[in-house]
Structure 1
Amino acid sequence: MKKKWLAVIPTIMLVATPLTMGVSTVEAATAPKVSAHKVISKAETRPTLRIGSRSSYVKALQQSLKDAKYVISVDGIFGMGTQNIVRDFQNDHNLFTDGIVGPATWAALDQNKIDRKQFTYAQADQVATNILGDHFLFASDQVLRQDVDGSLYYKLYAKNNGVTYKVFKKFIEPVT
């Protein structure tokens, strides 16, 4: 009898847990789960890309870079232009700058897509306007970058005073 209860109790707990949290078992089972582990796992399943690569993966890479506001054509051919943009991306995200797209670069591209939704260029422009005033006119490439400590920022150039600023979520600092 005790052995039977040992099998029944965990089953009851498994079924009851979502209900106590206000979620049905069907919703709990079908709810999408996003985690850093999933981003890394996805990055590790894609091939390493370099000069000479031609594939749908190269096209996906180029589209991801374009979506991240890098100026690049989407043709599925990993040439010098793509390599240079990959190097720019790697440099902007504190990765080893070799122009080769491996798991670390794929993961950074995936994370950048998530980060751009959480901290948009419009928000950065508003932070700069709130701090410096609305009399400033800004120009930017709208590329979301990552500081050495992992903080996300956009570079904005204030045309009025000729100063380039790093604009973070809550503050700005001039680029020296």
Structure 2
Amino acid sequence: MKKKLLTVIPTIILVATPLAIGVSPADAAPKANSQKVVAKAETRPTLRLGSQSSYVKELQQILKNAKYNVTVDGVFGPKTESAVKQFQTDHNLSADGIVGSATWNALDQNKVERQQFTVNTAIALGQKKLSNNIIFSGDGRLLKDSKKQSYYRFKAANKDWIEQGGTGTIGWYHIYKDGRVVAE
């Protein structure tokens, strides 16, 4: 009898615990899961000249991957500030050199867009539209126009003109993800 009683008591305690605190067993699991999701949502700090942290390092790596000239060292110095201002200008943000929520969001979106719309894809679209005889060159930055549409800016050169000793330059073009090629 004592053995059965000991076996039953822990079961009753486990079932009764959520009820004792006013939560049904069915409601207890979702609350724990939603707390985990909330804990994962991280707010990044505002960064500016003089900041030093792993967040600065993350910022610098994102900028470097987006073809901005920065050193990944975790120190927000003049070179990082300059790259941030250029990024902000390129993405129609206030170019104050301070990385707040708006800049963190331009950065995150740029990172995803660069994975979906690569430089090589843009070049292929440009050659399809203009000619396979065109060579494109640029810094590889994904930019935004005034309507917040992403594009790559390339200098286009004609292979035949280059082979004949000229520069081959025919102009500058914006190549969009939807295949539009717009002369500057």
Q: Sort the TM-score into its range (normalised by shorter chain).
A: 0.7 to 0.9
Once residues 86 and 127 of structure 1 are traced to their aligned partners in structure 2, the CA distance between those partners, rounded to angstroms, is: 29
Give the 3-state SS of the residue equivalent to 2:154 in structure 1.
strand
Q: Quote the residue 2:111 is aligned against.
A: 113
Q: Quote the residue 1:56 is aligned against.
A: 54
1:126 to 124, 127, 135: 124
Identity %: 47
Q: Which has the greater radius of gyration?
A: 2
Give the 3-state SS of the residue equivalent to 1:95 in structure 2.
coil
Q: Quote the residue 2:183 is aligned against.
A: 174
Which one-letter code corresponds to 1:166 in the other structure?
A: H
2:172 to 143, 164, 168: 164
Once residues 162 and 80 of structure 1 are traced to their aligned partners in structure 2, the CA distance between those partners, rounded to angstroms, is: 36
Structure with greater contact order relative to length (CA < 8 Å, sep ≥ 6):
1
Once residues 115 and 137 of structure 1 are traced to their aligned partners in structure 2, the CA distance between those partners, rounded to angstroms, is: 23
Give the 3-state SS of the residue equivalent to 1:138 in structure 2.
strand
How many residues align? The count is 136
Give CA-to-partner distance per residue, 1:42-89, whole Å, 9 cap, x none: 5xx111111111111111100010111212110111111100000010
Normalised by the length of structure 2, the TM-score is 0.70
Q: CA deviation at 1:174?
A: 1.2
Once residues 112 and 82 of structure 1 are traced to their aligned partners in structure 2, the CA distance between those partners, rounded to angstroms, is: 17
Which one-letter code corresponds to 1:165 in the other structure?
A: Y
Normalised by the length of structure 1, the TM-score is 0.73
Which one-letter code corresponds to 1:174 in the other structure?
A: A
RMSD: 1.8
Give CA-to-partner distance per residue, 1:124-174, whole Å, 9 cap, x none: 000110011011111111111111111110011013234111111211111
Q: Quote the residue 2:64 is aligned against.
A: 66
1:92 to 84, 90, 93: 90
Q: Quote the residue 2:75 is aligned against.
A: 77
Once residues 161 and 80 of structure 1 are traced to their aligned partners in structure 2, the CA distance between those partners, rounded to angstroms, is: 34
Give the 3-state SS of the residue equivalent to 1:165 in structure 2.
strand
